[in-house]
Amino acid sequence: MNRRKEIVSRLIPHTTGAVLDSATAFAPVNIALAKYWGKRDIELHLPVTDSLSVALSVGTTTTLYQNTHQDVIELNGSPVAESSPFFQRLTQFLDLVRPSPSFRFRIVTHNDVPTAAGLASSASGFAALTLSLNRFFQWNLSAESLSCLARLGSGSACRSIFPGFVLWQKGDRDDGMDSHGIALPFSWPELKLGILMASSTEKPISSSLAMKRTVETSPLYSIWPSVLEKDLRELLETLETKDFSRFGSSLERNALTMHATMHTASPPICYWLEETVHYLHTVWHAREQGLQIFATMDAGPNVKILFLASDELHVRSLFPQMMEIPLRS
């Protein structure tokens, strides 16, 4: 038995094989404030460091059925080709949990993320699939086990099992059983998030490949764990104190440090486009003028900005094209 399958067999209880006719679940997109960047175990998606995210109100809803001869996947109302990487990735994940090798699924999945937001995320997708499998097979798994299972689909999916602010503790075990999300008891209703689109086309290099190349070749990667630790500590402190200026400085520095490690990889990885740089300069200039606004970016060119509700009109006048997405706390 391969390693991933052996771990899944420990996560999932022995069941009677009874399944429901169908099961549906929703999971949110999450945005990292302290980033997951680098794996200590590539096969199990175990991270080098902890990370912290906040959930959005948009995400993925997935319904599962049993099918007769083959797996069938529908995404946003259209069938997904068997040859596509998306189909392959999903069915490989399903191979880990099929009650028998011949068991086949029909999966109907819908992203309510506005396509133009460029947020179509594997994290909400694998989390919604995991939650719907839990219902379909009536496993009654704990949130921690669901989070570990979702991580095997995509690392950051382990955070999308929960609403609100989520800490993904890296864990120390080789089998990853202690590497899962934890819901944090913070709420911050005044906190707002907007998206500034630079491009909605597919990213040139996947986050997994970009992480691997960065870990292997960037001379800056060695400082990443200590930077992350400091930024994360400050973020957690400021979630308590609601010191927005410190909170924003930490999350922005964390994103910029992550991108600096990629820019210094060999060959270099740069997701930024002209528009990305323009948005960043506009954010920094507005801050010099006294506006409390901060930016974060993931493995892509789009910029996410964070600000407080009291500054929303000002931020909108600066970025009329901003797409505001409510947080899910």
Residue holding tokens 């396509």? Answer: 115
**Nearest approach, Cβ of residue 321 and ligand PMV (Å):** 22
Window 137 to 156, contacts with ligand PMV (CB under 6 A):
154-156
Residues 10-49 that bind ligand PMV (CB under 6 A): 32, 35-36
Find the helix or strand (DSSP H, E) in which 78 lies: strand 78-79
Q: How far is the CB of 3 from ligand PMV (least distance, A)?
A: 18
Please report whether residue 250 would count as binding ligand PMV according to CB under 6 A: no
Question: How far apart (Å, rounded) are the C-alpha atoms in residues 108 and 123?
Answer: 17
Given the complex with ligand PMV, which of 109 and 156 has the nearer CB atom?
156
| Residue 299 near ligand PMV by CB under 6 A | yes
Nearer to ligand PMV, 32 or 286 (CB): 32
Site string for ligand PMV, 86-125 (x = CB under 6 A): ------------------------------------xx--
Beta carbon nearer to ligand PMV, 25 or 123: 123
Helix crossing, 244-263 with 224-241: angle to 10°?
A: 160
First to last CA, the chain: 40
Contact (Cβ atoms closer than 8 angstroms) between residue 325 and residue 161: no
Burial classification of residue 322, based on how many CB atoms lie within 10 Å of its CB (0-12 exposed, 13-18 middle, 19 or more buried): buried
The CA-based angle 197-200-203, given to 5 degrees, is 115
The token pair that represents 49 in the structure block: 């460091």
Q: Which of 298, 307, 315, 327 binds ligand PMV (CB under 6 A)?
A: 298
For the record, the structure tokens of 176 come out as 């990853």
Closest approach, Cβ 328 to ligand PMV, in A, equals 16
Which of the residues 189 through 218 are near ligand PMV (CB under 6 A)? 207-208
Do the Cβ atoms of 126 and 147 come closer than 8 Å?
no
Which is it for the CA torsion 41, 91, 126, 214, positive or negative?
Answer: positive
Between 153 and 172, how does the x/- string for binding to ligand PMV read (CB under 6 A)? -xxx----------------
Helix (H) or strand (E) holding 146: helix 143-153
Question: Looking at beta carbons only, is 109 or 154 nearer to ligand PMV?
Answer: 154
Q: Is 238 in the site for ligand PMV (CB under 6 A)?
A: no
In the window 44-83, what residues touch ligand PMV (CB under 6 A)?
51
CA 255-309-328 angle, to 5 degrees, is 65
Minimum CB distance to ligand PMV, residue 208 (Å): 5
List residues binding ligand PMV (CB under 6 A).
Answer: 32, 35-36, 51, 122-123, 154-156, 207-208, 298-299
